[in-house]
Amino acid sequence: MKSKNLIIALIALVVLIVLAITLKIGNQSNNFQPYSDFAIADTASITKFKISNTQLRSIVVSRRYDDKKWRLNEGKYEAKQDAVNLILETINQIELRQNMSFEAQQNTIRSIGANHTKVEFFNHDEENPFKTYFIGQMSADLGGSIMLLQKGEERSSTPYIVHKPGITANLATRFFINFYAWRDSKIFRYPDLSNIKSIELNYFEEPGQSFRINMPTQNKSVELIAPHRNFTKVDTIAIQRYVSNYKKVHYERLLSANFEGLDKLKTQQPFAEIKVTENSGTIVKCALYRRDMKTDEDGAVSFDQDNMFVRLQSGETAEGQYFVFDPLLKPLDYFIGK
């Protein structure tokens, strides 16, 4: 009898030990307090955030680089600053809109587990996020987004309906993952024009309109050079006005390698090439191609009057718009008054 009681006692002890271990592990990953302080007041301390989803897609946006610029993944490409600003503004102004019933909470937790956008925020050079959002669907009344908060390693047991005042759209759309949508679309960006050493524009259809502008230095005034033309007068005001157009020039969107019409560029000559040399010696250039270029039986040439193809220095091709590039595509005659 004593032996039987001892066995029962040992079994009970093992059960209690297993239960204790289970509860300890559970408490490491879940917190039974309902965290609802989603807002982050000090967004300036954030140096990295990672966005991922249940489809195993992710992107990392970080400014842990020497130049302190927000960059994507391994830092090769700059991130769009307006997209970063939108996220920082959202997490700074996000507010709790309403609680959820217990029954709705249980259904929501299961729903978020199956389909969510996860956003992790990192401070300084820390490797673990200090706050993490799990963003689910919009609320039934479309007045807010359902979110679950994790602080450090402790995840809240309670989801909430949150919103950014004045915004009714699902906040998850602000935390997108598409790499090309995140990538900065700049080609030329010189808010300080004194960083430019020279600008060269080659017209392959009209070589006589090609030119190079050498920017002024302490010992030399601005210089206009034309490889195929001679001239005596130069409109320096026109040059200043022209150079100011390089403060911000962006492409419209990057195109995939199999985009319709790109195969023709292999045999098509660009109509123009723009090359900017910086004082540091860095060269930034792009080649411009007519889009949908056709020649009819009479020899007349037609092409898309709104959009062009832009071959970037990286070798990638983007779509550009003429109204963006037209201010850069001035002929030599624009500066010499002919």
pLDDT digits (tens, 9 = 90+) for 281-300: 999 999 999 998 787 777 77
In a domain? residue 234? yes
Domain count of the chain?
Answer: 2
The domain boundary, picked from 134, 159, 182, lies at: 182
Of residues 76 and 56, more confidently modeled:
56
Are 160 and 218 in a shared domain? no
The domain boundary, picked from 160, 182, 204, lies at: 182
The arithmetic mean of pLDDT across residues 264-274, rounded, is: 91
In a domain? residue 17? no
Are 285 and 316 in a shared domain? yes
CA–CA distances in Å: residue 51 to residues 60, 61, 113, 133, 172? 7, 8, 16, 9, 10
Q: What is the DSSP string of 222-236?
A: -EEE-TT---S---H
Are 196 and 164 in a shared domain? no
In a domain? residue 48? yes
Are 207 and 111 in a shared domain? no
Long-range contacts of 70-77 (CB under 8 A, 24+ apart): 72/179, 72/182, 72/183, 73/179, 77/183, 77/184
Of residues 1 and 67, more confidently modeled:
67
Are 191 and 162 in a shared domain? no
Please tell me the pTM assigned to this model.
0.75
In a domain? residue 112? yes
CA–CA distances in Å: residue 105 to residues 67, 117, 141, 338? 44, 18, 16, 74
The domain boundary, picked from 128, 150, 182, lies at: 182
In a domain? residue 18? no
In a domain? residue 13? no
Are 246 and 323 in a shared domain? yes
Per the CB < 8 A criterion, the answer to whether 145 and 87 are in contact is no
d(CA 74, CA 84): 17
Per the CB < 8 A criterion, the answer to whether 60 and 73 are in contact is yes
Burial class (CB in 10 A: 0-12, 13-18, 19+), 332: buried
Are 113 and 56 in a shared domain? yes
Are 175 and 223 in a shared domain? no
Question: Could you tell me where the DSSP H helices lie in 30-115?
Answer: 81-93, 102-114
Whether 214 shows a pLDDT value over 80: the answer reads yes
For residue 15, name the pLDDT band (cuts at 50, 70, 90): very low
Are 310 and 176 in a shared domain? no
Of residues 21 and 137, more confidently modeled:
137
pLDDT digits (tens, 9 = 90+) for 165-207: 988 888 889 999 999 899 999 999 999 999 999 999 999 999 9
Q: What 3-state class would DSSP assign to 310?
A: strand
Highest mean pLDDT among 45-54, 71-80, 103-112, 257-266: 45-54
In a domain? residue 196? yes
The reported pLDDT for the residue numbered 218 is 82
Are 126 and 73 in a shared domain? yes
Domain around 211: 186-336
In a domain? residue 12? no
The reported pLDDT for the residue numbered 23 is 36
d(CA 133, CA 38): 8
Q: Is 142 left (phi over 0), alpha (psi -120 to 50) or beta?
A: left
Whether 241 shows a pLDDT value over 60: the answer reads yes
Whether 8 shows a pLDDT value over 90: the answer reads no
Are 212 and 317 in a shared domain? yes
Of residues 10 and 159, more confidently modeled:
159
